[in-house]
Every structure is written in structure tokens, then in C-alpha cells.
Chains A and B, each alone.
Chain A
């Protein structure tokens, strides 16, 4: 039976344990016997070149893609189904629903009574007071992603999977959305796939670069400051250089 309650919020933070997982896409192997642990309550960022399988791994965690081998569970061995909220780079807002109804989409699908007040509170939390009854067409890209964020929050799940969630908006909006996400998603287990090294360094408690085929993880050190980090302060620039050389070394074709 799937667990759709908000247990994660009040209970122990949930780890995501990837154990000996094999995944293929179109018959080319993406992951083989791949293991990793994403610690509960923290944000882990995954970086890597296109096509390496970051999105596929995330979708496998969400239960949307079948595994060819291995399991993805929490640290007590229970499957993750029903405890996941998912965010994509496209806002996936249903164009016929208002912002409020989009936020409450999950409750409708599960046959529960939607809590209008709660949805409105969440919209206020992401800074969209006054826009509750607008349809997505009337909102800007950044605003739509904030609605998606509110929707993610409404799901109130312990694990949040994000696939390049802010890549479709402009740099300034992205910066602000990163701050917002950091704020509202504190204490949840977040696995975020991103293209943007600065974003990974700003938000990640841990940071991994995926390289090779089949892919393996290469940890990169994060700056010492608490998230969301300022790109110009402390050891951020140094860690940035580290990361870039890691990514750059990959691109020159030197394979471990």
C-alpha cells in the first residue's frame, strides 16, 4: 500500500538508497550495478553532460521508469512510492485550471477534498498572493514555476525530486527561485538534477558529477557556508573552479 501521508515532515528524514541499480535507455546501458545514498533532510545535486542519464535516474526514483536490476528504497527498505513529489523544468501546470486548482491537483486526483485555504497559503508562501484565480496563460514563466513549487509543497512529501526545475527561466528569476526553493524545501530530502554548476554550488549539501557510460558518481566538494550560498563569498569561487575543472576534464574526453 502506498504511503501518501505527510509522515516525512514530522518523522525522521528519509534517505534514498539506490542499491545496485541497472538502467538502460534504448538498449545503451546508462547505469550498471550503480549504488548511491542520498541522505535524508539534505539537498543533493547531480550534474553531468546531456544524455548521461540524470533525468532517467530521477524518473526511476519516481517510479516512472522500470529498473533492469537493483532497487531504490529508503533506508528501512520500504519502497518510495507515494512519498515523492516531482518537479520538472516545464511547470506542467494544467492550462485549464487556475493557480489554486493546479496547486491542489494532487488532492483532486487522489479523490480528497481540496483545501482551498491551504493552497492559497502556499501560493502566498511562494509570493503569488493575488494570483490564485489566474490561469497559467496569464502568468509569466517564473510565476508558473513558483506555482509548480507550491504544488510540490502541497503534496507535502518527504522526498522531492527536481529535474532542472529552474532552467527555463531567466538568470535573475532563477536566482530568486533558488532562494525560495531553499527556504521552502528545508528539511526535506531533495535530489536535484541541474545543468548549472552555480546552482549546484548554491543549493547542494552534497554535489556529484555523473561521468562515463555506464555512469558513476564523482563527488565534488561544496562550499562551507549554509545554503543558499552567495556566489562571491567565502570559498565559493574556489569550489566553483574545482567543479569546472572536473566538468571540463570530462569534456576533453579523459575518462576514468
Chain B
């Protein structure tokens, strides 16, 4: 049933796309139709897959690094008051700087290889993860904290134990929300990094194809990127739901 639904959705999107092409009268060098794009996708599948692999690697590494940094920062801020004062504003600033302003700097410092793209993705992921996890850590049910304090005998005793056994597990659903956002924005980071300078990847491929006026190839790369992003999101969502079984969806279940 799930498969049927996915197929129907995809077909529907393709029909919609073709309709847009017809109705708008856009020429193929501005908006190619699904038929041209899919035939290029099939014809150059191996070539596109190679670039897709590069971008996927950048995204996954960015996710890993961004999540690690985000979780650590949140824990540090939750534990130490001076950290809250100094680190939190930096956290917020990191989000305010537009990505395309930082990208050239990253490329300058980290070179044109994968490092700068991973850096870019990390930067984009870091804030949603840190912010949501911190929220979760801050919002622990105060009654659990009180209970913990009666058990340890002193409100100030063993803050680490309380953090580890009460706050962190309680903050997992919040972290999961942050991770879902991270999965959705990680591809953006990787691609922007590629636009600034690269030798491989879907972003690079899109730039090249655009310059050579091979717009159908550009769109084929675009669809591949979109498919990657969707697959990534649903994978992350699945893993998170399995990892946090005690906090289930309360919306009525629609999947079979």
C-alpha cells in the first residue's frame, strides 16, 4: 500500500510538471519537461550517480559532524552558566550569517575539496540541532528534577547524573525534531558549498550543465538531489521513531 501511494504521488508530480510546461509555454532551455529530463537521467545514470555519491558523502559527514557539535554545545550550555552567556549568542549568530557569505571563506580555509562542503553542511545543521536539544534539556519536567533531588539528597549534588539519566533522555524527542530539520537542510549546505568551488557533486554538475545550456541535465541533477533529500529525511525519521519508541505519534496513524 505504501509503495502504491508513493508511485501514485510521483506520477502525479510528473503530470503536474508537464502541465506547468504546457500551460506556461516555457521553452525547453528554461523549463524542460519530465520526458526530456527523465531520458537524460536514464541515459547518463552512471555519470549522475557518481556526482550524487559525492554530494551524499558530503551531506552524511556534515550531518554526523553537525549533530555531534550541536549536541555537545547544548550539553555544555545546559551545564555551565558562563557557557550560557558566551556560547549562546555565538550559536544564534551562526544562524544569522547568510550561508553564501560564509561559503567563500570556508573554501579559502578548507580548500576546494570535500572539507569545505562538509564544513558548510555542518554550519547549517549545527544550529537546529543545538537549539532543539538545548530546549529539550531546559524543559525537563521540573517534578522529575525534584524527584531526582530528593533521591540524591541535595539539589546541588550530582548535576551530571541528573543530566545523564533524566534531562538527556527526556530531551530526546526535542533532539529528534532538530535532527529532522537538519536532515532537510543538510543538502542545501552541501550544494551551496559546491557552488562556491568544487570539482564534483550535484551542485557542481548543475552549474556545469547550466553553463553548457544543457538544461535537461541540470534538471536531472536537480531531481536527483531532491530525491536524495527526501530519502534522507524519511530514513532519518524512521531511525528516530525506532530509537524513541516511548514517545509515539499521537496523531491517528495513517501508515499501514
CB <8 Å contact, A94 and B143: no
CB <8 Å contact, B143 and A62: no
B84: Cβ under 8 A from any A Cβ: no
Encode contact with B along A59-89: 1 for CB under 8 Å, 0 otherwise. 1001110000000000000000110111010
Q: A82 with B153: in contact, given A90-B143, A94-B166 (CB under 8 Å)? A: yes
The CA of A217 and the CA of B104, in the complex, are separated in Å by: 73
Residues of B within 8 A of A4 (CB): 153
CB distance from A88 to the nearest CB of B (A): 6
Interface residue from A81, A92, A94, A137 paired with B153 (Cβ < 8 Å)? A81
Of the candidates B150, B152, B157, the one having the most CB atoms from chain A within 10 angstroms of its own CB is: B150
In A76-123, the 8 Å CB interface with B consists of 81-82, 84-86, 88, 90, 92, 94-96, 105-106, 108-111
CB <8 Å contact, A109 and B158: yes
Count, A-B residue pairs, CB within 8 A: 68
CB distance from A221 to the nearest CB of B (A): 32
Q: A109 with B151: in contact, given A92-B144, A96-B246 (CB under 8 Å)? A: yes
- The contact size tier of chain A is 20 to 34
B197: Cβ under 8 A from any A Cβ: no
Residues of A within 8 A of B144 (CB): 92, 94
Residues of A within 8 A of B170 (CB): 94, 96
CB <8 Å contact, A106 and B143: no
Residues of A within 8 A of B162 (CB): 109
B161: Cβ under 8 A from any A Cβ: yes
CB distance from A163 to the nearest CB of B (A): 10
A9: Cβ under 8 A from any B Cβ: no
Encode contact with A along B164-183: 1 for CB under 8 Å, 0 otherwise. 01100110100000000000
B45: Cβ under 8 A from any A Cβ: no
CB <8 Å contact, A95 and B165: no
Of the candidates B146, B151, B161, the one having the most CB atoms from chain A within 10 angstroms of its own CB is: B151
Closest A residue to B144 by beta carbon equals A92
Q: Which residues in B have some Cβ–Cβ distance to A below 8 Å? A: 143-144, 146-155, 157-158, 161-162, 165-166, 169-170, 172, 244, 246-248
19 additional A-B pairs beyond A82-B154, A84-B150, beta carbons within 8 Å, are A63-B149, A63-B150, A63-B155, A64-B149, A64-B150, A81-B154, A86-B146, A86-B147, A94-B166, A96-B170, A105-B165, A108-B165, A109-B158, A109-B161, A109-B162, A110-B158, A110-B161, A111-B158, A111-B161
Q: Which 3 A-B pairs have the closest CB atoms?
A: A82-B153, A2-B153, A106-B151
Q: Which residues in A have some Cβ–Cβ distance to B below 8 Å? A: 2-4, 59, 62-64, 81-82, 84-86, 88, 90, 92, 94-96, 105-106, 108-111, 135, 137, 155
